[in-house]
Structure formats: C-alpha cells, structure tokens
Amino acid sequence: IGARTAANPFAMQEIADALRGADVPVLVKNPVSPDLELWIGAIERIYNAGIRRIGAIHRGFTSIDKSLYRNHPMWAIPIELHRRLPRLPIFCDPSHIGGKRELIAPLSQQAMDLGFDGLIIEAHCSPDCAWSDKAQQVTPEALAYIIRNLVIRDESITTESLTELRSQIDKLDDQLLELLSRRMRVSRDIGQYKKEHNMPVLQTQRYEELLARRAGQAEQMGMDREFMRTVLQAIHEESIRQQMEVLGR
C-alpha cells in the first residue's frame, strides 16, 4: 500500500474491508507526511480486518526543506514505530528515500545498523531506460554488490561490557532532568515577573537570537545544528506553557 493511500484513512478503510477474511501479506508504506499516528492508524485498519501478516515500509517523508534526499528519512519516526509495535516487521526503501542510486548503499547500511528487518531496492537491467524513477534504480550487478557489502550487526553479542557506559548515560540523563526542572522553575519566576509588569509572554527576537546562538555552540561541540534547534524548541514550548500557567492564575 503506497504512501499516498496510507495517508488517506477512507481509502485505507476501503482496502481493509476488501481484504477482510483474506490470508495475504500486506506491506504498508509510511504516509507522505511525517505523521506516525497516521501510519499506525493505517496499519491498525488492516489488522482490524483480520490480516496478521503485516509489515511496514519506511520510504521517507516529503519535506519542503532542501535536502540531500528525495524523501527525508527522519529515522526517529520508524524507530518510534518499532518501539510502539515491536513485533511488526519494518523494511526500508532506500531507493525512494535517496532518489539517487549513489545514496542507496549508505542508506541501506544505515537501515541495517538501526535494526530494520529488510530492504526494498529498485533494480533495472538498464536503469537509464526505465519509464519512471530511473535516477534511483541500480543494475542487478550493483544490487548484488550492495548486498555483499552490507554489514549485519550481531545482536547475540553480550552487552555486559556496555554496562558501565550505560550507567554513565543514566546518570547524565538524571542530571539533564534536574537541570531542566531548575530551568522551568526559573521560567515560572519569569512568568510571575511578566504578570506583575503586564508583559507579553513571547519575546520573539530574543527567542530567535537564542536559537541561532545555541545552535552555533552545539555545532562547535560536535552536535548537529538541527538537533539542537529541535531540542531548544521543545524546551521553549514547555517554558511558554509554564509561564502561561502562571499568568492564568
């Protein structure tokens, strides 16, 4: 089931009704938009029709931002899908994610490193003569090369040696939570000050300056700018919620 159909609950229900009572495998691609609930809803409609051989295909998401990829992978979404539905097989479609044949091998390896159950790769004897999507297709020889060179991680290896490192992560997470709690207490104090002085909650210019400055700092520290912007945006939203709560008293 394609991405545009998966995005349409009415179409998904029609398909589910048509399949009711059948014993066939059904693979559901992610919707075009990065909407996990919509994806899960499409899968659940098929499941509720009595189909049990169900899998998901991650083919990336449409984005208005310029990107290296045809469809942005947004790996966090299929990872969360796996957390929510751990028994659901999830396959990756690096052809549609990359949109260019040279991206298929690295995307395939990323998918395997993230624990995907398999890959769907477009191959064609003469890719440049294909009637559609020729830029993302590989020859059978190239496909064989990609498969031969995939590194499949051994999930049976003991993780005992990771215990100390994971303990460090747990402690750091505890510290992060404590710092965030302290930050929100300061946000509530700011909310109280704004209430007493009849000031608006949102200070747009300061927020934009903070985002740019912190994203730059994060990059200098070896982190991704967009990752830091996402983190700060989430913190800012909670800070605004805290201040609004104070103003509403």
Domain ranges of the chain: 3-148, 160-247
pLDDT at 55: 98
35-51 confidence digits (pLDDT tens) = 999 999 999 999 999 99
How far is CA 170 from each of CA 83, 146, 158, 173, 174, rounded to the nearest angstrom? 19, 37, 19, 5, 6
pLDDT at 173: 92
75-128 confidence digits (pLDDT tens) = 999 999 999 999 999 999 999 999 999 999 999 999 999 999 999 999 999 999
- Whether 135 contacts 99, CB under 8 Å: yes
Scan for tokens 């159950």, then name that residue. 117
Q: Does residue 54 carry a pLDDT above 90?
A: yes
pLDDT at 201: 83
Task: Please give the average per-residue pLDDT across 18-27, as a whole number.
Answer: 96
pLDDT at 64: 75
- Whether 142 contacts 105, CB under 8 Å: no
Alpha carbons 230 and 65: distance in angstroms, whole number:
15
Percentage, residues of the chain above pLDDT 70: 97
Scan for tokens 């210019």, then name that residue. 205
Of 27, 25, 22, 19, whose CA–CA distance to 3 is shortest?
27
Grouping H, G, I as helix, E, B as strand and the rest as coil, residue 166 is helix
Alpha helices in the chain (DSSP H): 3-6, 9-19, 36-48, 76-84, 94-98, 104-113, 140-148, 163-196, 204-220, 225-247
> 0.85 exceeded by the pTM?
no
Distance of CA 223 to the CA centre of its chain: 18
Task: Please give the average per-residue pLDDT across 190-211, as a whole number.
Answer: 86
Of 170, 246, 233, whose CA–CA distance to 201 is shortest?
246
Q: Does residue 203 carry a pLDDT above 80?
A: no
Architecture of the domain whose range is 160-247: Up-down Bundle (1.20)
What's the pLDDT band for 156 if we cut at 50, 70, 90? low
Alpha carbons 174 and 151: distance in angstroms, whole number:
34
The CATH homologous superfamily to which domain 3-148 belongs is: Aldolase class I (3.20.20.70)
Alpha carbons 12 and 1: distance in angstroms, whole number:
9
How far is CA 134 from each of CA 2, 43, 125, 127, rounded to the nearest angstrom? 19, 29, 11, 5
pLDDT at 158: 62
